[in-house]
């Protein structure tokens, strides 16, 4: 049984909860447990949306610096692959994923939030990539996912300065999607996740894959990814149900098949 990462499922929404006092530092054990949790919710046919949550106080203050401090280049050349693989596993959950950000989401914590499809932040939340202040750079996807989200210039500003970005600015630059009172963060994420329950889960997975893979390639290749995903959905029950319901002016009841 996992010690620091739990999965709770209610009403077809899974919450991946970090709970490693005091700041949810993402050490090797947490990374391993995150992978297990991500694979679990991705494989669970009953789960239709996912929330990443660190609790009322903090999302995650980063990768465990004390654990890394004595690593050699040889050590990190191996561990960095494991680190990135952990976050990639979270990013590839084939369902809508919402990060509910309270308190700090710094370094690896910010990179974990970047793996979600959407981010809801509390008014006092602070996000950032402060690795440069340690003589490092982000190593869990920050130099790649952040510029894809907010643009290269803004990403460089955050990465070069290492500064903490308040929630209001994060919303303004597109780093988060919604800002709510601190005490409403998880509830807001839950309400958003609920909008996907009962939806066409196969189509949502296809849409997520098409968007995520498409931004990595040229337009023609992206269009081909879209075409294949689009055509493939015509083999699903949900597509037939959805189109039939449209023709009959009825509400579709998707089955996830």
Q: Does 253 map to a domain?
A: no
Residues 187 and 119 in one domain: yes
The pTM is what? Answer: 0.95
Is there a single domain that holds both residue 26 and residue 128?
A: yes
Q: pLDDT band at residue 30, thresholds of 50, 70 and 90?
A: very high
Same domain for 21 and 79, yes or no, is yes
Question: Are residue 188 and residue 206 in the same domain, yes or no?
Answer: no
Kindly state the tokens that stand for 242.
Answer: 């959805």
Does residue 66 sit in the same domain as residue 143?
yes
Asked if residue 154 and residue 38 are part of one domain, the reply reads: yes
Q: Is 254 inside a domain boundary? A: no
Q: Is the pLDDT of residue 1 over 80?
A: no
Domain shared by 74 and 141, yes or no: yes
pLDDT of residue 63: 86
Range of the domain at 220: 201-247
pLDDT tens figures, 165-197: 999 999 999 999 999 999 999 999 999 999 999
> Does 139 share its domain with 223?
no
145 and 232 in a common domain = no
Claim to verify: residue 49 and residue 120 sit in the same structural domain: yes
Contact 186, 122 (CB under 8 A): no
Listing DSSP states for 214-239 in one string gives: HTTS-HHHHHHHHHHHHHHGGGSHHH
Give the domain CATH number at 225: 1.10.12.10
* Domain count for the chain: 2
Residues 176 and 218 occupy one common structural domain: no
Q: Is residue 257 part of a domain?
A: no
Quick check: is 255 in a domain? Answer: no
Q: Is residue 252 part of a domain?
A: no
Distance CA(115)–CA(95), nearest Å, equals 12
- Residues that are catalytic: 111, 131
Is 15 within a domain? yes
């Amino acid at each position: 049984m996992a010690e620091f990462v739990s999965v709770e499922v209610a009403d077809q929404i899974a919450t991946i909860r970090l709970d490693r006092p005091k700041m949810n530092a993402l050490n090797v054990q947490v990374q391993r447990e995150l992978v297990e949790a991500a694979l679990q919710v991705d494989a669970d046919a009953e789960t239709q949306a996912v929330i990443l949550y660190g609790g009322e106080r903090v999302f995650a203050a980063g990768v465990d610096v004390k654990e890394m401090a004595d690593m050699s280049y040889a050590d990190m050349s191996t561990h960095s692959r494991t680190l990135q693989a952990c976050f990639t596993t979270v990013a590839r959950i084939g369902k809508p994923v919402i990060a509910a950000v309270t308190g700090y989401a710094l370094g690896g914590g910010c990179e974990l939030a970047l793996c979600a499809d959407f981010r809801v932040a509390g008014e006092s939340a602070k996000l950032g990539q402060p690795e440069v202040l340690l003589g490092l750079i982000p190593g869990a996807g920050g130099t790649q996912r952040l510029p894809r989200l907010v643009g290269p210039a803004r990403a460089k500003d955050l990465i070069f300065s290492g500064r903490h970005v308040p929630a209001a600015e994060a919303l303004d630059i597109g780093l988060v999607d919604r800002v709510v009172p601190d005490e409403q963060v998880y509830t807001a994420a839950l309400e958003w996740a609920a909008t996907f329950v009962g939806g066409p889960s196969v189509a949502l997975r296809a849409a997520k894959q098409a968007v995520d893979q498409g931004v990595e390639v040229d337009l023609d290749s992206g269009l081909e990814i879209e075409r294949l995903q689009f055509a493939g959905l015509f083999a699903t029950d949900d597509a037939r149900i959805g189109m039939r319901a449209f023709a009959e002016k009825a509400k579709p009841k998707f089955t996830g098949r």
